[in-house]
Amino acid sequence: MDTRVRRSDLRRLTPIREPRVLSEVPLRMWSPAEWERIQRGFRARDMDDRWHAFAEDDRLFLHRSWLGDGKYEVAFVETRGGHRISRVLVEGAEPRYPGGSDREVCLLLEVLISSILLGERAEDQRGQLADLRSAGRPPQPGDN
């Protein structure tokens, strides 16, 4: 039995409206076993799950689960030892853009793949993302 999530399993998907190439991509190499798990995808089970993910050939698509808006289209290439990301398209239209610098969007993508598709905590990436976001905010009362 094939347990992969397919585009046809999901309702109301909207493709990325204004694709923009992300200037950087996660450098991680995914093992063959991880690539297999990524290809299985993920279907939101309830309102707390915010993402749908499915793969077609060498592409991973990430859509917001509530409205079906496309946010990421991720191209993978096979290399010796596994798969890596070669290119990322993100939604460039406001207010649908994932938000933040390309570095932040890249880290968020890696967190999504790691946590949603692989069940990892992705603490390093989450910490880097939090640091980037807090560095970009104005000082708050109580900051020292």
Whether 130 maps to a domain, the answer reads no
Looking at the domain assignment, is residue 141 inside a domain? no
In Å, how far are 78, 104, 128, 136, 139 from 131, measured between CA atoms? 31, 10, 5, 9, 13
Lowest mean pLDDT among 31-40, 58-67, 90-99: 90-99
pTM score, two decimals? Answer: 0.86
Domain count, the chain: 1
Domain contains 72: yes
| Structural domain contains residue 121 | no
What pLDDT sits at residue 85? 98
Structure tokens at 89: 């398209």
Is 135 inside a domain boundary?
no
In a domain, 78, yes or no: yes
Range(s) of the domain holding residue 65: 7-98
Is residue 116, in this structure, part of any structural domain at all?
no
pLDDT given for residue 94 in this prediction = 74
Classify residue 1: in a domain, yes or no.
no
